[in-house]
Structure 1
Amino acid sequence: MAEKKLLFDIHESPDLGKGLLLSIQHVFAMFGATILVPLLLGMSVSTALLASGIGTLIYMVSTKFSVPVYLGSSFAYISAMGFAKEQMGGDISAAQTGIILVGLVYVLVALLVGKVGTAWIDRLLPPVVIGPMIIVIGLGLANTAVTSAGFVKDGDWRNMLVAGVSFMIAVLVQTKGKGFMKVIPFLIAIAGGYIVAALIGLVDFTPVKEAAWFALPTISLPFATGIESFGQYKFYFGPEALAILPIAIVTIAEHIGDHMVLGEITGRNFLKEPGLNRTLIGDGVATAFSAFIGGPANTTYGENTGVIGMTRIASVSVIRHAAFIAIGLSFCAKFTALISTIPTAVLGGMSILLYGVIASNGLKVLIKSKVNFGASRNLVIASAMLVLGLGGAVLQIGSSLVISGTALAAIVGVLLNLILPKESTE
């Protein structure tokens, strides 16, 4: 059974008004990372929104509309994609090809799971590896959240004020709110933070005034289209692209961890029904599609898990409508311009809470699985992963292959788990 009674279960649908607000909240909860990733990589925000919405629908079709998961831009690939672009002189060909290959890796793993089951994955990725991996993913984003919020040396007091207001509104609505208000804390917090930011001069509305109402998303394809707003890249299978593949270990672990935690929240085992093979195929095809149109890698969102865990709204229809909203908004240039005016401090305030929830979910996996840290091997595995992942470790192999913190932590965790002998105390 679920730990807390859900307000809306998987196949339950809120009425139209509430459902729309809940869907908008899911979209906004994903905005922080969904738009920040393309901004950091110099990609189009509208393309990221389009890929996010279509990717979510691809995932839902694959999982028979039975898992309340929203897909968005993955932080795990930022460093690798940025490195690939840098090595290619700004050309996105290696980065996009690498992410398409990552999607294919997902599909291959899914097919293998469908053939031989999940025992080998349980062996490679037990809770003692998945738990620290989720913690690393969450806390690895902590610096991004804190920096966005402005809590840095010589930071602007206005940014700190806005981030603090956004954070406190979310916390107060979540803990003290009554009725339906308690269900949409992030939407209320973002609106409140945005108003405060506008009042103290942190919002520039010029981009909104200059933008058209509707425009095609600025996407890129591996062939010429003749459409002026569309870019072009070429498939490239060199080392810069192949260096991205090891990070698939991280995101597959994240995928499994997110579905485990979501299962705890909803009282279901999504790895058995609809099955890990279906969830992986949905995630992989969505990721490959996003890269194909010039977007960032997709991922099953920890933020999505955090929102469902805090609001107890697990309705698949809410997520589906959120996907349609994201697709529609990707064509609204006025709206994407408006989103671009949301100060990073507002998103930073939200991120402090949401990224903390992701990390806490890693602890939850360890506690729920009763991982014994009295056993030296478990202590060694978790310790090595946390230090390497959070310390920003980098391993360079040759002149072009670089495995950095998060990916390196996952690889080391898997290897240590296979190499170290089990103890009688386990």
Structure 2
Amino acid sequence: MEKNFVDVHETPAIQKLVPLSLQHLFAMFGATVLVPLLTGLDVSAALLSSGLGTLLFLLITKGRVPNYLGSSFAFIGPIISVSASEGVGAAMLGALLAGLVYVIISAIVLKSGVDFLNKLLPPMVIASIIIVIGLSLSGVAVNWALKDPLNPDVYSNQSVEVAFVTLIVTVVSMIFFRGFFSVIPVLTGMIVGYIYSIIRFPQMIDFQIVKEASWFIKPIDMFDKHMLTTELLAAMSNPGAWIAALVIVPVALVTLAEHIGHLLVTGNVMDRDLMRKPGLHRTLLGDGLATSLAAFIGGPPNTTYGENIGVLAITRVYSRNVIGLAAIFAIIFAFIGKIGAVLMTIPKPVLGGVTIILFGIIAAQGVRMYVENQIDFSNKRNMVISAIILVTGIGGFRLEFPEITIQHIVANLTIDNIAMATFLGIVLHAVLPGKESAYGSKQNEGNQAAQKAS
């Protein structure tokens, strides 16, 4: 059978490698820089920590998990709360400790193994969570496609037009292009969408930030003006900052569900069990150390990105060197102000056009898992559990604990929709009878054949 993908250890030719890496960079850029803009952190530090964190993740996972790490949205609220009351150093201390929580959980998983996860998360539950991960982001993609980029509360036909053009070009590139251009549809769509918006609606793009941006940021200036190492070290000597940091630490338990979901999606895309090889303990360790590293740099905590998993699914190029070069580009762009500023001018409707398909493809991977495992939805148990996971996850069901007070700091802690949907799926599978149905006909037939053979 002819191999129709590029595996993790393979490297495309240089003329293909660069565009493929830029495609991943463009896919993550909008969300990654949005987090520091919302939290008051530095965009250059976010790009630097994103690139370094991704390289560290690839190293720890032995280059077998081609995930890109970008800024995590789950930490936005706690970082803003702690920064306002105790300073940004305390917030970075909390992010540092959140990363160490991942390291501790990684050690537990290494010792206990991942077999318990198969009991907690059968294929039916996993597939439902994967669909939630894709479709719960659909509101973000659609809002970017519908709303005026200069006034996000206002519907805009111009935005719809730009998003539609971007989406159509991306789809045409995927379906009808041949050769190399068939594997860079996201990059093609974004470039065409960007040029189209410049020609048709130049008011969407503010080039003033490009004019004001410096060409180069010297490493010493990056350390003095952008990084927050001094503030973090000062917070470490302040008992009050340690108490404040505890507001941020529990968020790591929330993002843990997202991490596992993304690893399962990536494994499904690549058709291999990444939970066992290189292992969940390695991916947790990589994610945790990347988050702690980001805290030292002054960037937001990192997490694996659904946008880039969508790119993997579209292109079927899993090369770790493609992801690694994308990380290197992010590091370089952190020191080149003009390039970073140009990327920040990409209109939200362009991002909306490509993320509609990127997030949708993640959801489609969950549907594929239903089919491949032959999940029987005439079974009431499967229907009930999947229905609850899908509606609570996609609908945004969450738990909020407002006005949690630690010392004199008031903050909000939210258990987000993905974590809630995962929790409900695990609990329902554990308590309802007939667990074998959640593994599907295919796996049950395999187990029966193995029993007969023995």
Deviates further, 33-42 or 113-122: 33-42
Please list every run of 5 or more consecutive structure 1 residues that lacks an aligned counterpart in the other structure.
227-232
Confirm or deny that 1:13 pairs with 2:11: yes
Alpha-carbon offset, residue 296 of structure 1? 2.5
| Residues 59-93 of structure 1 deviation map (CA, whole Å, 9 limit, x = unaligned) | 11111223322222234x1xx53255247637545
Alpha-carbon offset, residue 169 of structure 1? 0.9
Does structure 1 conserve the Cα–Cα contact (< 8 Å) formed by 2:35 and 2:76? no
Tell me which residue corresponds to 1:295. Answer: 299
Alpha-carbon offset, residue 311 of structure 1? 1.4
Q: Secondary structure in 2 aligned to 1:5?
A: coil
Q: 2:253 aligns with which of 243, 246, 249?
A: 246
Q: Secondary structure in 1 aligned to 2:84?
A: coil
Q: Secondary structure in 2 aligned to 1:223?
A: helix
Take 2:18 and 2:195, find their aligned partners in 1: how far apart are those partners? 22
CA 1:388–1:7 in structure 2 vs 1: closer, same or farther (change >3 Å)?
Answer: closer
Tell me which residue corresponds to 1:210. Answer: 212
The amino acid of 1:296's aligned partner reads P
Does structure 1 conserve the Cα–Cα contact (< 8 Å) formed by 2:30 and 2:344? no
Alpha-carbon offset, residue 247 of structure 1? 0.8
Tell me which residue corresponds to 1:135. Answer: 131
Deviates further, 30-39 or 309-318: 30-39
Tell me which residue corresponds to 1:346. Answer: 350
Q: 1:405 aligns with which of 417, 421, 426?
A: 417
Does structure 1 conserve the Cα–Cα contact (< 8 Å) formed by 2:89 and 2:228? no
- Residue correspondence of structure 1 range 219-298 to structure 2 within 5 A: 219-221=226-228, 223-224=230-231, 234-237=241-244, 240-264=247-271, 268-298=272-302
| Residues 117-162 of structure 1 deviation map (CA, whole Å, 9 limit, x = unaligned) | 1112222333333222222222111111111112699622221111
Tell me which residue corresponds to 1:65. Answer: 63
Alpha-carbon offset, residue 356 of structure 1? 1.0
Alpha-carbon offset, residue 172 of structure 1? 0.7
TM-score scaled by length of structure 2: 0.82
Deviates further, 375-384 or 164-173: 375-384
Deviates further, 58-67 or 122-131: 122-131
- Residue correspondence of structure 1 range 21-420 to structure 2 within 5 A: 21-75=19-73, 77=74, 80-83=75-78, 85-86=80-81, 89=84, 91-92=87-88, 95-150=91-146, 155-199=155-199, 200-201=201-202, 202-215=204-217, 216-217=221-222, 219-221=226-228, 223-224=230-231, 234-237=241-244, 240-264=247-271, 268-397=272-401, 399-400=403-404, 401-420=413-432
Take 1:37 and 1:354, find their aligned partners in 2: how far apart are those partners? 20
Tell me which residue corresponds to 1:230. Answer: none
Percent identity reads 41
CA 1:211–1:399 in structure 2 vs 1: closer, same or farther (change >3 Å)?
Answer: closer
Give the structure with the larger helix fraction. 2
TM-score scaled by length of structure 1: 0.87
Deviates further, 287-296 or 114-123: 287-296
Does structure 2 conserve the Cα–Cα contact (< 8 Å) formed by 1:132 and 1:382? yes
CA 1:423–1:333 in structure 2 vs 1: closer, same or farther (change >3 Å)?
Answer: closer
Take 2:370 and 2:99, find their aligned partners in 1: how far apart are those partners? 28
Alpha-carbon offset, residue 7 of structure 1? 4.3
Deviates further, 397-406 or 300-309: 397-406
Does structure 2 conserve the Cα–Cα contact (< 8 Å) formed by 1:133 and 1:250? no
User: Which structure has the larger Rg over C-alpha atoms?
Assistant: 2
CA 1:332–1:375 in structure 2 vs 1: closer, same or farther (change >3 Å)?
Answer: same
Take 1:314 and 1:346, find their aligned partners in 2: how far apart are those partners? 25
The amino acid of 2:350's aligned partner reads V
Q: Secondary structure in 1 aligned to 2:303?
A: strand
Take 1:208 and 1:71, find their aligned partners in 2: how far apart are those partners? 26
The amino acid of 1:305's aligned partner reads I
Deviates further, 21-30 or 322-331: 21-30
Q: Secondary structure in 1 aligned to 2:62?
A: coil
CA 1:374–1:290 in structure 2 vs 1: closer, same or farther (change >3 Å)?
Answer: farther
Take 1:405 and 1:94, find their aligned partners in 2: how far apart are those partners? 27
Q: How many residue pairs are counted as aligned between the two chains? A: 412
The amino acid of 1:127's aligned partner reads P
Take 2:105 and 2:118, find their aligned partners in 1: how far apart are those partners? 13
Take 2:269 and 2:41, find their aligned partners in 1: how far apart are those partners? 30
The amino acid of 1:343's aligned partner reads P
| Residues 18-58 of structure 1 deviation map (CA, whole Å, 9 limit, x = unaligned) | 21121111211222322233334443322221111111110
The amino acid of 2:130's aligned partner reads I
Q: Secondary structure in 2 aligned to 1:89?
A: helix
Tell me which residue corresponds to 1:229. Answer: none
Take 1:66 and 1:394, find their aligned partners in 2: how far apart are those partners? 33
| Residues 75-112 of structure 1 deviation map (CA, whole Å, 9 limit, x = unaligned) | 4x1xx532552476375456544443332232222222
The amino acid of 1:6's aligned partner reads N
